[in-house]
Amino acid sequence: MDLKSYFENKKGTGILSTADAEGNVDCAVYARPHVMEDESIAFIMRDRLSRKNLQSNPKAAYMFIEDGTGYKGKRLFLKKIKEEENSERIAALQRRSYPKETDLNAEARFLVYFQVDKELPLIGGGEK
């Protein structure tokens, strides 16, 4: 199953891990990624620690744990390739909407694109 179909059809919890240039690691809960036409993936990000880390270290890992029993999901090893700020594309991709009076509407939003360097199952090394 390709990543676009996978993330369109699976529900679960995602965790994005990043590290700064000194190796200080952070992880944050993130929604399912948007899979783009060129097979890159993108996340809508606020200007917080995960994005800050990516400014000095473009490598990241995303773990997706599928809802249900057992341990099923994917681990994606990523490299940031570009980003755009407050674009119309962000508005088109956004899955949630917030009331107009919410402070979240005033924050800058970034669409951060990654190439997928490696894909592994949630458990194990993926060897057959």
**100-114 confidence digits (pLDDT tens):** 555 555 678 999 999
Segment 23-33, tens digit of pLDDT: 999 999 999 99
Cβ-in-10-Å burial (0-12, 13-18, 19+) of 29 comes to: exposed
The CATH classification number of 3-121 equals 2.30.110.10
55-98 pLDDT, tens per residue?
999 999 999 999 999 999 999 999 999 999 977 888 888 765 65
How far does Cα 68 stand from its chain's mean position? 21
77 Cα distance to chain centroid: 11
pLDDT at residue number 31? 93
pTM of the full structure: 0.87
Residue 38 has pLDDT above 70, yes or no: yes
Report the share of the chain in percent with pLDDT over 70: 88
Residue 101, both tokens = 């009076």
